[in-house]
Amino acid sequence: MKDEKMEPKVEKALAELRPTPARDPAAAARGRAVFLAQAAAARKQAARQPGWFGSLFSARPRMQRRWTNALIAAFLSIAVFFGGTATTVYAAQDSLPDQSLYPVKTWSEDAILSLTASPQARLNYTLDFTDRRIREVAELLSNGKAVPERVFTRLQDQLEQVLNLVAGMDDPTMIQDLEQIRLRAEAQLQTVAELMAGAPRSDQPILLQTHMRLQEQVQLCAMGETNPGGFKLQIQQRQQYRGGRGSGLTPTPDGNAAQTPTGQTPSETPLPSGGGYGPGQGGNEATGTPGQYGPGQGGAQPTGTPGHYGPGPGSGGQEQTPQQGGGSGKGP
Amino acid sequence: MDTDVNPDPELLTRARQFDPQALAQIYDLHSPGLYRYAMRLLGDPAMAEDCVAETFSRFLQALQANRGPVDYLQAYLYRMAHNWIVDHYRRRPFPMEALTDGIRDRQAGPEEEAGQHLRREHLRAALNQLTPEQQQVIALKYMEGWENEAIARALQKPVGAVKSLQHRALAALQRILQEEDVL
């Protein structure tokens, strides 16, 4: 075989990488203990919950299934309308951000919104799209893949769009819809909290930011249910602030624009590191003090306030490891 | 040797039920090899420990989501570990600029050990220039000593595709090493 006739020098060179120093027994023991603690927490979680996907779907009301079916029909109509292949658009609906059909999926979402005249229908579609983003994150993480930042950006845009749409409705309808949006955001919040318990540290800051944004969504909805006027005013202020920052707007058939801004509003939660998606000053990669970020494996909710998760001891550019920190970011 | 360890078909079934003994057994069985694999590609004990920890953490996540390996657990774990390593280098590219000095001069005399270390870093840097799949096939074949069938399971590709991947990877690696004066 060709590989067996490999240039001997290459083989010899590769052989130099074979010897490895003995593993530090203390570090190995710590790693084992952390894993077993995680396993114990996972066992408890499995006993009381149906799992990420289960929890997501169990929280989905009958109304959502109806809209999902309508969504599929709409995808196919759009595909035919644009002369595209309906099969491709349909197949794209299950694609993940690291797959080639994913742009078709996001395009079809935008196309549906721009072709949908009814604000209520646009709201329902957009809510479904936020669920999709969460499922994409969960699937990528469970496949051991990094989650592209654009997934979170799109989720945040869609969360904002939901608020803008609901704020444009009459008060009785708005209050009814706000409850649905809040329930959906609470289910998403729980899913993100579960994801944080097992996600790699490099994904923790962005998950935390998403968690905080969802908390904000829940709070805003709760406020709107009791104070519709105040809610509309607050959403108007968010729109004005975002309007000055430039954003992508999804055109709608009635000529209005459903905002899909990309900037942050003053009331949005700041990034954990205070400026970028990285976790700390000095260019660290999710290397803050282990255990700093997450909810741990016991299913506790991360309740950090803005700034609470700040740079911490991660500043200075030194990568801190669980060994150095004496624990683990996903510790028990 | 065929190193695809799956000695007990019930082990995974028990692991799916989060049986502590099964999970501990899996950790003890695979963690040393995964650590060595990560060390060979990363060259840093702390990062290698991180890689092992994240690999097992993702394995648990997969079990929680009713996913993960149906069989061939070892192939699955090495694939997860390799994904982590690739992601790691994506986030923090290999510091090529630190390796710009010629290495042959450094190998002589009392600095031989430092020279060997530098040479290994050059090798890792060269491997890092291959595609992720090429890296994985080289690492599993020539550092871990896996058979093509086991590599095929880890890469989720047919054996024929693995052989051709190996051939291209070796040719690319040889070219890189020659260009960088390592060979």
pLDDT digit string (tens) for A255-268?
A: 343 343 333 333 33
Percent of chain A predicted with pLDDT > 70: 57
**Mean pLDDT, rounded, for A155-169:** 94
List chain B domain ranges: 9-95+106-179
A residues 276-305 lying closer than 8 A (beta carbon) to B: 285
**Across chain A, what does the average pLDDT equal?**
68
Measured between CA atoms, the residue of chain A closest to residue B38 is A20
Q: Looking at residue A280, what is its pLDDT?
A: 33
Q: Is B34 on the interface with A (CB under 8 A)?
A: no
Which of A18, A30, A142 has the most B C-beta neighbours within 10 Å, making it the best mutation to test the interface with B? Answer: A142
Percent of chain A predicted with pLDDT > 90: 17
Q: Looking at residue A246, what is its pLDDT?
A: 41
The pLDDT tens digits for A82-95 are 555 556 666 677 78
Between CA A270 and CA A267 the distance in angstroms is 9
Q: Is A204 on the interface with B (CB under 8 A)?
A: no
Among the partner residues A16, A23, A194, nearest to B35 by beta-carbon distance = A23
Higher pLDDT, A324 or A64: A64
Chain A residues whose beta carbon lies within 8 Å of the beta carbon of residue B39: 20-21
Measured between CA atoms, the residue of chain B closest to residue A143 is B62
Q: Do residue B31 and residue A328 have CB atoms under 8 angstroms apart?
A: no
Size of interface A-B (CB pairs under 8 A): 165
CATH code linked to domain B9-95+106-179: 1.20.140.160
Band (pLDDT 50/70/90 cuts) for residue A247 is very low
Q: Do residue A144 and residue B83 have CB atoms under 8 angstroms apart?
A: yes
Instruction: Find tokens 């109806």 and name the residue.
Output: A66
**Mean pLDDT, rounded, for B164-174:** 91
Non-local (6+) Cβ contacts of B158 within 8 A are: B152
Q: Looking at residue A263, what is its pLDDT?
A: 37
| pLDDT surpassing 90 at residue B36 | yes
**Helix/strand/coil (H, E, C) string of chain A?**
CHHHHCCHHHHHHHHCCCCCCCCCHHHHHHHHHHHHHHHHHHHHHHHHCCCHHHHHHHCCCHHHHHHHHHHHHHHHHHHHHCCCCHHHHHHHCCCCCCCCCHHHHHHHHHHHHHHCCCHHHHHHHHHHHHHHHHHHHHHHHHCCCCCCHHHHHHHHHHHHHHHHHHHCCCHHHHHHHHHHHHHHHHHHHHHHHHHHHHCCHHHHHHHHHHHHHHHHHHHHHHHHHHCHHHHHHHHHHHHHHHHCCCEEEEECCCCCEEEEECCCCCCCCCCCCCCCCCCCCCCCCCCCCCCCCCCCCCCCCCCCCCCCCCCHHHCCCCCCCHHHHCCCCCCC
Q: Is B156 on the interface with A (CB under 8 A)?
A: no
Measured between CA atoms, the residue of chain A closest to residue B165 is A3
Q: Write b or e for each residue in A59-90: b if 16 or more Cβ atoms lie within 10 A of its Cβ, otherwise e.
A: bbeeebeebbebbeebbeebbeeeebeeeebe
User: What ipTM is given for this predicted complex?
Assistant: 0.83
Q: Is A199 on the interface with B (CB under 8 A)?
A: yes
**Mean pLDDT, rounded, for A162-171:** 93
A residues 51-70 lying closer than 8 A (beta carbon) to B: 51-53
**Mean pLDDT, rounded, for A245-259:** 40
Non-local (6+) Cβ contacts of B102 within 8 A are: B181
Q: Do residue A17 and residue B40 have CB atoms under 8 angstroms apart?
A: yes
Band (pLDDT 50/70/90 cuts) for residue B113 is low
Measured between CA atoms, the residue of chain A closest to residue B82 is A144
Higher pLDDT, A60 or A133: A133
Q: Do residue B46 and residue A321 have CB atoms under 8 angstroms apart?
A: yes
Instruction: Find tokens 């949006």 and name the residue.
Output: A181
Which of A2, A6, A17, A30 has the most B C-beta neighbours within 10 Å, making it the best mutation to test the interface with B? Answer: A17
Q: Do residue A330 and residue B57 have CB atoms under 8 angstroms apart?
A: yes
B residues 46-105 lying closer than 8 A (beta carbon) to A: 46-47, 49-50, 52-58, 60-68, 79-80, 83-84, 87, 90-92
| pLDDT surpassing 50 at residue A188 | yes
Closest approach of chain B CAs to the CA of A56, in angstroms?
12
Nearest to A134 by CA among A103, A97, A164, A169: A97
Report in angstroms the alpha-carbon separations of B183 from A50, B139, B168, B170, B177. 55, 18, 18, 13, 6
The pLDDT tens digits for B137-155 are 999 998 888 999 999 988 9
The pLDDT tens digits for B54-72 are 899 889 888 888 888 878 8
Closest approach of chain B CAs to the CA of A242, in angstroms?
30
Q: Looking at residue A1, what is its pLDDT?
A: 43
